[in-house]
Amino acid sequence: MLSGKKILLGITGGISAYKICELIRMYKRANADVKVVCTPNALKFVTKLTLQNLSKNEVSVDEFDVKNYNPEHISLADWADITVIAPVTANTISKIAFGICDNLLTSIVCAFKKPVILAPAMNCNMWENPIIRENLNKLHFTILEPESGYLACGYEGKGRLCSLEKIFEKTVELVNYKPLNGKKIVVTSGGTIEDIDPVRYISNYSSGKMGTALADCAKNLGADVILITACDVKKDYEVIQVKSALDMKSALDEKFNCADCIIMAAAVADYRVKNYSREKIKKTAEDEMTLHLVKNPDILSEICKKRNGAKLPLIVGFCAESQNLLENAKEKLLNKGCDYLIANDISRRDIGFASDYNEVTILDKNGGTVKLNRADKMTIAYKIFEAIYG
């Protein structure tokens, strides 16, 4: 069930750490490769020797125990297909929620972009503490809630580590979750660049982060991904670097027929200069100068027309609005003819352009709307795929 899968198993300092020895055996029996990372306190409950013998791998604890040239928190984060932390204490939950990287395990989670499972275990009063609940709610991970019963501290209540079978089954489910397997997803991103002369251009503030998150997410969900972007990015999937709106249109035209889904997250310039100057434009004695602009093709509208009523490719547009978000978005969805439109409020500074966070409303062509609350762009990307491929 887990053949060839790489599991990073985090253990923190709670009494149920002793149970995790059995979880390692379950993973190993299912043919997973398991690497254990302990917080220093975890080793007060279980020994490195036991974990090493069971996992057949070295157990890592200290971030600064340098074994090779690569920083260990990054190499381990890159190595694993999934991170499972069991038990996770109130302390580690809170550190992760605030991005504190004061040990190897919390540093790995901070750099980790694939699925994470947290299985908390603690005293029932700690579990009910509103601060812990709030910190847990900040995390967009899979949380396997503790069970009720007799606790090692002598209390009866909710706080026991959930069953190892539950952790094992969730690991199998998430690590094999590839709902976009076999689908070709084309994503556009970034702000197009329209040259004026060899040294000047017209562009916009789009960072390309939402498009990159969508492409990364599609890849994680098993899709074959092509990212057509005006940004400088290197990925382990096909990236086509473009500059202007016209470049983006021709790259997209070329990929149109093979795509199952096209997501237009790019901020395409509506206009380009009419006469590009091959030489640098010199300053004149006049106080004003006029640049003549011509309209760029509306790529989204054109690919929707090109589809000519066919169901595929599925076409998703974005819309950036600074006022009347929903009314403008509904009108755009209708006028452009796409299946979904993701509406972005660019008047807010805490989301959207250049931010790592977003808050969007997904509108579909049948009139449905789904509001996604503020979250990091990767989480928003997962929820967008969940909404369109349900």
CA dist 237 and 289 (Å) reads 44
Binding ligand CTP (rule: CB under 6 A), the pick from 42, 80, 264, 362 is: 264
Report the Cα–Cα distance between both ends of the chain, in Å, rounded. 24
Between 60 and 207, whose beta carbon lies closer to ligand CTP? Answer: 207
* Cβ atoms of residues 221 and 179 within 8 Å: yes
- Residue 328 CB contacts under 8 Å (≥ 6 apart), including other chains: 319, 321, 343
- Residue 316 beta carbon to ligand CTP: minimum distance, rounded to whole angstroms: 8
Between 50 and 204, whose beta carbon lies closer to ligand CTP? Answer: 204
Between 163 and 250, whose beta carbon lies closer to ligand CTP? Answer: 250
Binding ligand CTP (rule: CB under 6 A), the pick from 8, 180, 245, 304 is: 245
- Residue 260 beta carbon to ligand CTP: minimum distance, rounded to whole angstroms: 18
Please give the distance of CA 245 from its chain centroid, rounded to a whole number: 26
Binding ligand CTP (rule: CB under 6 A), the pick from 296, 363, 384, 385 is: 296
Grouping H, G, I as helix, E, B as strand and the rest as coil, residue 127 is helix
DSSP output for 174-204: HHT--TTTT-EEEEEESB--EEEETTEEE--
Between 225 and 300, whose beta carbon lies closer to ligand CTP? Answer: 300
Residue list 298-317, contact with ligand CTP (CB under 6 A):
298-300, 317
Residue list 128-147, contact with ligand CTP (CB under 6 A):
none
CA dist 18 and 275 (Å) reads 72
Binding ligand CTP (rule: CB under 6 A), the pick from 197, 247, 270, 364 is: 270
Between 160 and 249, whose beta carbon lies closer to ligand CTP? Answer: 249
Between 270 and 386, whose beta carbon lies closer to ligand CTP? Answer: 270
* Cβ atoms of residues 33 and 128 within 8 Å: no
* Cβ atoms of residues 182 and 138 within 8 Å: no
- Residue 357 CB contacts under 8 Å (≥ 6 apart), including other chains: 350, 351, 374, 375, 376, 377
Between 167 and 319, whose beta carbon lies closer to ligand CTP? Answer: 319
Closest CA to 386 of 362, 367, 357: 362
Q: How many CA atoms lie within 13 A of 308 on its CB side?
A: 3
- Residue 4 CB contacts under 8 Å (≥ 6 apart), including other chains: 31, 33
What is the CB neighbour count within 10 angstroms for residue 312? 11
Is residue 260 a contact point for ligand CTP (CB under 6 A)? Answer: no
Residue list 316-335, contact with ligand CTP (CB under 6 A):
317-320, 332
Active-site option among 101, 124, 153, 319: 153
- Residue 303 beta carbon to ligand CTP: minimum distance, rounded to whole angstroms: 8
Is residue 266 a contact point for ligand CTP (CB under 6 A)? Answer: yes
- Residue 249 beta carbon to ligand CTP: minimum distance, rounded to whole angstroms: 8
- Residue 98 beta carbon to ligand CTP: minimum distance, rounded to whole angstroms: 34
CA dist 148 and 1 (Å) reads 29
From 24-32, 35-43, 217-225, 261-269, span contacting ligand CTP (CB under 6 A): 261-269
- Residue 304 beta carbon to ligand CTP: minimum distance, rounded to whole angstroms: 10
CA dist 253 and 58 (Å) reads 50
Between 91 and 189, whose beta carbon lies closer to ligand CTP? Answer: 189
- Residue 210 beta carbon to ligand CTP: minimum distance, rounded to whole angstroms: 11
Is residue 124 a contact point for ligand CTP (CB under 6 A)? Answer: no
Q: Does 217 participate in catalysis according to the annotation?
A: no
Helices and strands, counts by H and E, the chain: 13, 19
Q: Which residues are catalytic?
A: 153
Residues of this chain that interact with ligand CTP (CB under 6 A) are: 245, 264, 266, 268, 270, 296, 298-300, 317-320, 332
